[in-house]
Amino acid sequence: MPNQSDPLWIAHFSDLHYSPGNLAEADRCFGFAVENAIVAGCHAAVVSGDSTDHGLDAHTPALGALARRIHRLTGHCPVLMLQGTFSHEPPGTLDVFRLIGAQYPVYVADRIHQVALCSGEFHPSEGPIFTETEFEALLVEHGMPKVIFTCVPTVNKAVLAAAAGVAKAATAVGDHLAAYLRAAGTMNARFRSLGIATVGVSHGTVNGCQTEHGVPMAGFDHEFGIGALFDAECDGFLLGHIHRAQQWEREGRVVAYPGSIGRFHYGEIGAKGYLQWDIVPGKATAQSVETPARETVCVDFDGPPDMEALAAVAAEAADKFVRVRWTVNEEHRQLVDRDAIVALFGKSAEIKIEARVLPAVRSRAEGISRAASLPEKLSRWGELAGVATEPLAERLAVLESLDAQSIADSVLSHLRDQADMESGDGQQDASDAPLEMETSYAEPPEQTAPVPTSHAATAQSAAATQMEWLTEDLFA
């Protein structure tokens, strides 16, 4: 341990997330950080929560690996481990670590309180803050503390919710913590006046911080305001929970997240590392040391993946972890060759493929497949869709029986008829216009046979129907 006058140098690790799935990443990064901190001669080490990713059985290799790293640290300096998020670190997970101290102890902070580090040993307060009596007894028995830690582990919101009313639970957590931090601040200011370093350790979200995905955390349901943390009058406030490294400074005092020790998810921005804190009473600095976190590459396509673009990415992605995502419409899904993409990234450490297929939304025409002919199918579709298909049926018959030139000729001849009708020749109307399609299209109108008089009325209405499809927009 250093002399009282030396700056206090704390290695601050957070969010190790040891689990079977994260073992390689967590242990490579934490192993590097532990050795780096030992070589650099840290005076104390802090893990500010989420040492594990979820509850781990005793026989899980990941738990053994974490224990070995912590044990290794205790051969060099005292270690404080803070209780993190309950889902990641079920209460009680850390208890066993109290037993693995070598040269120095592991201190587990799982309640809101203060703890003094004197000559390599931890001496906790009975209640949330050191009392006058406790502190004087501490000085008599153990001498001047090197540092006072103010510990705020994850708080049980259920307990607060019951006390404060469920609706106000989130706000109440912040209010209660702010009140506690202010009270601790009064004591911490006194410790500082005695030349003792003061350090806060907590696990939670600071309002206004940014996540590893670049999302700003702004709202009223977060644990801390940055002002509340500075109110604790700690020289340095060591935070965990947010996986992106970031810090705030006020008059020489610093609040900081080291971020997670490794890169556990795709799409995380920012470097990974641990923090080297240098603290003299009233002034702190936190320097990040980067860990060898895995490199990830994310490529997203709106539509089928561009294979040329992917080939260019693959050329730069040897030994990296690659995620390729795309979104395609259902009818284009067969355009994507997954195997070819996997093959492109043969040299990468991992290729993760996430395809999102947008389902085609179409209403089926019930019974249409049982209709025998195309005109029948058309008519069935018209019934179901509420569309009058007669004009379409006529055009379909024309398309089926005539070639393009004949159709065009007849359209032109009908247009000519119409022009004649508009010029006022009423007699032409009955004789020329009502044409039977089978006979009229290939011939000029004046050569076609006149419709028999007895059928004139019928023919006229038929003519009107036929004219309709000529005068209306063909593509309607």
Identity of the residue, 239 or 336, whose beta carbon is nearer to Mn ion in the bound complex: 239
Q: Is 233 in the site for Mn ion (CB under 5 A)?
A: no
Of 15 and 223, nearer to Mn ion (C-beta) is: 15
- Quick one: 293 or 324, whose CB is closer to Mn ion? 293
Q: What string marks each residue from 337 to 376 as x (binds Mn ion by CB under 5 A) or -? A: ----------------------------------------
Of residues 32 through 91, those in contact with Mn ion by CB under 5 A are 50
In angstroms, give the least distance from the CB of 88 to Mn ion.
6
Q: Which is nearer to Mn ion, 15 or 231 (CB)?
A: 15
- Answer yes or no whether residue 27 interacts with Mn ion by CB under 5 A: no
- What string marks each residue from 311 to 330 as x (binds Mn ion by CB under 5 A) or -? --------------------
> Applying CB under 5 A, which part among 13-21, 289-297, 318-326, 377-385 lies near Mn ion?
13-21
Nearer to Mn ion, 50 or 231 (CB): 50
Work out how close the CB of 86 gets to Mn ion at its nearest, in angstroms, rounded to a whole number. Answer: 12
Rounded CA separation 215/306 (Å):
28
Q: Which is nearer to Mn ion, 88 or 380 (CB)?
A: 88
- Taking contact as CB under 5 A, which single stretch among the options 8-16, 20-28, 71-79, 422-430 is the one that binds Mn ion? 8-16
Stretch that binds Mn ion, among 15-23, 60-68, 196-204, 271-279 (CB under 5 A): 15-23
Closest distance to Mn ion from the beta carbon of 343 (Å): 35
Size of the site for Mn ion (CB under 5 A): 2
Q: Which stretch binds Mn ion (CB under 5 A): 11-19, 138-146, 220-228, 424-432?
A: 11-19
Which lies closer to Mn ion via its Cβ, residue 16 or residue 324? 16
Of 250 and 265, CB closest to Mn ion: 265
Q: How far is the CB of 82 from Mn ion (least distance, A)?
A: 12
Specify the residue, 154 or 466, whose C-beta has the smaller distance to Mn ion.
154
Which listed range, 9-17, 92-100, 276-284, 300-308, lies at the site for Mn ion (CB under 5 A)? 9-17
Report the site for Mn ion in 263-292 (rule: CB under 5 A). none
Q: Decide if residue 15 touches Mn ion (CB under 5 A).
A: yes
The answer to whether the Cα torsion of 383, 385, 386, 392 is positive or negative is negative
- Closest approach of Mn ion to the CB of residue 232, in Å: 22
Which one, of 78, 87, 188, lies nearest residue 129 by Cα? 188
Chain residues binding Mn ion by CB under 5 A are 15, 50
